[in-house]
A and B are shown apart, each in its own frame.
Chain A
Amino acid sequence: MRTFSYVRAPDVETALRAVADEPNAKFLGGGTNLVDLMRENVERPDVVVDISRLPLTGVEELPGGGVRIGALVRNSALAAHPLIRTRYPVLSQAILCGASAQLRNMATVGGNLLQRTRCLYFYDGASACNKREPASGCAAIGGFTRNHGVLGVSEHCIATHPSDLCVALAALDAEVEVESTRGTRRIPLTGFHRLPGSTPHVESALEPDELVTAIELPAPITERSRYRKVRDRASYAFALVSVAAALETGGGTVTAARLALGGVAPKPWRAVEAERVLLGAPATEESFRAAADAELAAATAQDGNTFKIELARRTIVATLRDLTSDGSAT
């Protein structure tokens, strides 16, 4: 790990000022991803601004039935929060499927948004990686691609976003509140993360001097929501494919649907094509399959991750099926 100077920010203003004139600064929340990447010399900040003691730890109900979540709420606290467990079960489940209890006790919601990929070649300093070292190439293509993306990838980068929590947020129409010395703005979660295109090192809409201060969720379309994570171990492994889904039906017809995918794309993937097919369609396995097919029509695979397309299709169908049955199966 490279030497850096450490600043502990007692309030948001100090934090923002600390990074305003410092081009190579990083905010430190729970540290679960940043400290790891610094130790691997992937992240090499000159200044680390510790924001973990900022008073951004509230979970508040909003008028209109939504929820405002402080950026420094710990993952475990959010998963256990009664508002989240009852109204947004998909979010609670997504968090509890992620990492380990120890990591969930450390990791913050804001930090989770900025989690970086687990691509093996991104982590390995000896390998070419356009994300880590712009224009150096992509060693993942032609290499081990089992964990890589099939949607939204480019010839420059096929890495996936590793978060579970963000997949649920994408399905829940979350908005991200960010602040800098220049002011406050709101970014829809689905527009927060960037696709790689020819600039895979640009991962989000966040400017270097901006701090994520809160996430806001609108009232849920339904409390019937679910997160399904498919992985190589029964616990403590990143998703091969995950599905966050909320489904409302009436008279056997889908009246509202929210669907997002994890493990398949460089960002938490809101499945808008699938939602379009689902809306107004009969709540049947055939519709679910048609929706999955519509979403995955654009998928492209490498040698090592062709299976993800079929796996995503099956997981979407299974998750929607669970939501329309009594929900007890898994």
Chain B
Amino acid sequence: MTRTLPRTSEPAVGKPIDRVDGTAKTTGAARFAAEHPYPGLAHAALVHATISRGRITAIDTTEAAAIPGVVTVLTHHNAPALKPPRKVSPLDLSTMASGTSVAYLNTDEVHWDGQPVAVVVAETLTAAREAAALVKVVYAPMRSTVDFLAEEPNARPQKGNLLMSGSAKKGDAEAALATAPVRVEGRFTTPPHHHNAIEPHATTAVWDGDRLTVHDATQSIDWLRSHLALRFDVPAEGVRVIAPFVGGGFGGKAMIWPGTILTVMAARATGRPVRLLLTREGVYRTVGGRTPSTQRVALGARTDGRLTALVHTSVTYTGRVGGSPEQVTSQSKHVYDAENILVRQNLVELDLISNTSMRAPGDAMGTFALEAAIDELAYELGMDPIELRMRNEPERNPIDGRRFANRNLREAYRLGAERFGWADRTPEPGSMRDGRWLVGMGVATAFHPAWQFLANVTVRLSVDGTVLVRCGFQEMGMGGATAQAQIAADALGVPVESVRVEYGDSTLPLSPAAGGSMQTASVASSVLAACQKLRRKLAKLGPPGETPAAVLARAGVPSLEASVGSDSRLGRLTGQARFLAKLLRDQRRWMRAASGAQFCEVRVDPDTGETRVSRWTAAFDVGRVINAKTAVSQLRGGIVMGIGMALSEETLVDPRTGRIMNPGLGEYHVPVHADIPPIDVAYLDEPDPTMPLGLIGVGEVGITGVAGAIANAVHHATGRRIRDLPITLDKLL
């Protein structure tokens, strides 16, 4: 980019700038979805089905309705009609938004244990919840299939989609495996997980005629707007979704789940503003989680460590009422330069709530199995696990020979190993101790593909020197507003403090959902383009001044605005089509991904098998880092979630009933402060030449490889290979 303007400040990109919303979040001023007051506001509470499949034969709301303060009890007998969701189309990504295909309260059918079968609306939260417990439902249960492991033999090949294939092969991996001089093979399992964002899903819905305002804990403002318009049969232009603060998502707030729909429905039915903050149990019962998986990884190698065969297959589930097939084996197409590769994904369909994306869907689970198997091979070969990886580090994308847009894994390993002190490790299992503790060190590769989607942006420069960036993206803690302010500041040559970013509102220009680690890159690309447009406009006003604002002042223009993309129906359609074409073109040309090296040290109590992570170092190749503070935090956050996945997290779905038995934070063990050591995060800061500003997303790569690194460290400490997550102490006794 040629500079036509003098720089008035140091570049902001790359700096560890404090979050722009820091004060709001540390003073309690930030209002989340369930915290907006409205006159006449009523409160909703859900009643959940207690069978996994069948019909409601009777539903008695008399007692519930008699609780003082109850406004109404909605059931399939009296609920307003709901339009069905639309079929998924690549030209309108909002069609992917529906959590399940069920017509909530418009049917007597029950499709999963936990499905809402009634909604109580009351003057107070207390009354709503008391009444909800008094709704009596009689069911005629039907045969259901809910036991994932029992159903595994019936798994069918998973179909691919536009962006990802369900299976892939190069050569004949099984044949190569059979003749490989060195072989390892293992069956790995991962349990179901839940996102457990600390903010439960919440909605405040207000109707004014056919106009609807919704405050919602959503990762997908635009999808939600389109989806609500469709389901309630009103024009999308009249639906406004507001979500400037979202208390964590991790994929759990990407789709639209029944709580949101039913709050809007309750507001429609009562003519009052209605609020619903799901109970923690309600989150488990009405929002999908990460599917469990079973995986087979088989590796064949020559004695020098070169891989001749890599086989990675998986079984996961989707709900009979929806869900997204997980790309569990995806990374096995990209990480190791095996001569022969076979990846295959299989699915079973269960009478459970739809599964949904959770931080690094597919890859978080797949990298556990793959990276643990690589470690097993290293021990089989008597080779350092990093050395084995470096011997199989590809020049081009292993499965199809595409170029990598960026690939600096060697450098990441070098940097990580140095910071971690890998050289001090003695390879023999059980050889390292600290007092009574057994000490183990493990390593694994992190990998997550990078995407970019359509974002529309408006940038306005005012004569007072301030810049306003407007885009309807979501902020759940990724630091998006801060990062975009930094980008705009540099692009316009103004101090970052003078840039304000408006986000989290569907009245703003279209943004992609916050998911797939692509929001920041997608928005950044348009912010850059809009700023460049603005500078061209500015140049037409007159010669460069001291500051951009000075140019405006001289020309007597109060403000100047530039936009990228159009939010009209046609504009969105053509934008989406253009982007899709570019996406597919790019995908044929390059393999783009974030990657990294995860190093961990664990301590295992030799008596009890208690495993604690004592040290962590990670070195990532995530392209250019926009904000050194928030990016590192996000990468750390992924590692923390990965530590939970490795050691303690498991949703208990009773295989007899399909009912989740630990729907709470007391018995679903996310990591606490005491579980998390200082996490040393390094990044290479090598821009990806094919991405805007060279940045790649950082939201998900952090969790990948974590469980593998821990499993490998546990093996190093104890000599035990635990192939079933979580690695709880009973497995080590």
Contacts and interface: CB of A to CB of B under 8 A. Distances in A.
Q: Do chains A and B touch in the complex (CB under 8 A)?
A: yes
Interface of A: 1-3, 39, 41, 118, 120-121, 124-127, 142-144, 146-147, 230-238, 240-241, 307, 310-311, 314-315, 317-318, 329-330
B17 interface: no
Contacts of B130: 1-3
A144 B661 contact: yes
Interface residues of B, number: 32
A329 B671 contact: no
Q: State the main secondary structure of chain A at its contact with B.
A: loop
Given A1-B130, A126-B659, A311-B608, A233 B648 contact: yes
B577 to A, nearest CB: 48
Contacts of B648: 232-233
Interface in B590-608: 607-608
Contact of A232 (B435, B436, B729): B729
B163 interface: no
Contacts of A317: 607
Nearest to A319: B607
Nearest to A147: B667
B610 interface: yes
7 contacts: A120-B667, A127-B659, A143-B654, A147-B667, A233-B672, A314-B733, A329-B436
B652 A144 contact: yes
Contact of B674 (A127, A144, A233): A233
Given A120-B652, A232-B648, A314 B662 contact: no
A330 B230 CA distance: 60
8 closest A-B pairs by CB: A307-B730, A234-B674, A235-B674, A126-B50, A318-B607, A120-B661, A314-B607, A230-B608
A235 B673 contact: yes
Interface string B706-733: 0000000000000000000000111001
Nearest to A99: B666
A155 B612 CA distance: 36
Nearest to B676: A234
Given A232-B728, A307-B733, A311-B729, A41 B133 contact: yes
Nearest to A124: B661
Nearest to A142: B656
B418 interface: no
A27 to B, nearest CB: 22
B128 to A, nearest CB: 11
B733 A310 contact: yes
A315 B608 contact: yes
Interface of B: 50, 126, 129-130, 133, 435-436, 607-610, 612, 647-648, 652, 654, 656, 659, 661-662, 666-667, 669, 671-675, 728-730, 733
Contacts of B607: 314-315, 317-318
B661 A230 contact: no
Nearest to A120: B661
Given A232-B728, A315-B607, A144 B669 contact: no
A310 B730 CA distance: 9
Contacts of B129: 1, 39
B672 A234 contact: yes
Nearest to A121: B661
A6 to B, nearest CB: 13
B667 A118 contact: yes
B669 A237 contact: yes
Given A144-B654, A235-B673, A330-B436, 15 more contacts: A1-B129, A2-B130, A120-B662, A124-B661, A125-B133, A144-B661, A232-B647, A232-B729, A233-B648, A234-B672, A235-B675, A240-B729, A307-B730, A307-B733, A311-B729
A236 B662 CA distance: 16
A315 B675 CA distance: 21
Of B652, B728, B733, most buried by chain A (CB within 10 Å of CB) is: B733
A329 B673 CA distance: 22
Contact of A233 (B126, B656, B661, B675): B675
B659 A124 contact: yes
Given A120-B652, A317-B607, A329 B669 contact: no
Contacts of B50: 126
Contacts of A314: 607-608, 733
A2 B667 CA distance: 24
A238 B652 CA distance: 17
A135 to B, nearest CB: 19
Contacts of A3: 130
Given A315-B607, A317-B607, A235 B733 contact: no
A126 B133 CA distance: 11
Contacts of A329: 435-436
Contacts of B671: 233
Contacts of B610: 230-231
A236 B652 contact: no
A190 to B, nearest CB: 26
A41 to B, nearest CB: 5
B729 A236 contact: no
Contacts of B652: 120, 144
B612 A234 contact: yes
Contacts of B669: 232-233, 237
Nearest to B663: A124
Of B609, B667, B671, most buried by chain A (CB within 10 Å of CB) is: B667
Contacts of A241: 608
A161 B656 CA distance: 25
Contacts of B673: 235
A311 B667 contact: no
A142 B661 CA distance: 13
A242 B492 CA distance: 62
Contacts of B672: 233-236
A2 B129 CA distance: 9
A143 B129 CA distance: 28
B255 to A, nearest CB: 25
A70 B501 CA distance: 57
Nearest to A40: B281
A215 B609 CA distance: 35
Nearest to B731: A307
A67 to B, nearest CB: 30
A125 B48 CA distance: 11
A115 to B, nearest CB: 13
B147 to A, nearest CB: 13
A318 B610 CA distance: 13
A232 B728 CA distance: 7
A101 to B, nearest CB: 11
Given A1-B126, A233-B674, A235-B673, A143 B733 contact: no
A179 B129 CA distance: 35
A228 B666 CA distance: 20
A310 B711 CA distance: 23
Contacts of A41: 133
Contact of B730 (A39, A311, A315, A318): A311
A227 to B, nearest CB: 14
Contacts of A234: 612, 672, 674-675
Contacts of B728: 232
A202 B675 CA distance: 37
Contacts of A120: 652, 661-662, 667
Contacts of A236: 672, 674
A241 to B, nearest CB: 8
A314 B130 CA distance: 46
Contacts of A146: 730
A124 B50 CA distance: 10
A324 B126 CA distance: 54
Contacts of A240: 729-730
Nearest to B670: A233
A234 B728 CA distance: 12
Of B607, B671, B728, most buried by chain A (CB within 10 Å of CB) is: B607
B662 A318 contact: no
A307 B647 CA distance: 17
Nearest to A1: B130
B557 to A, nearest CB: 57
A241 B654 CA distance: 23
A126 B654 CA distance: 12
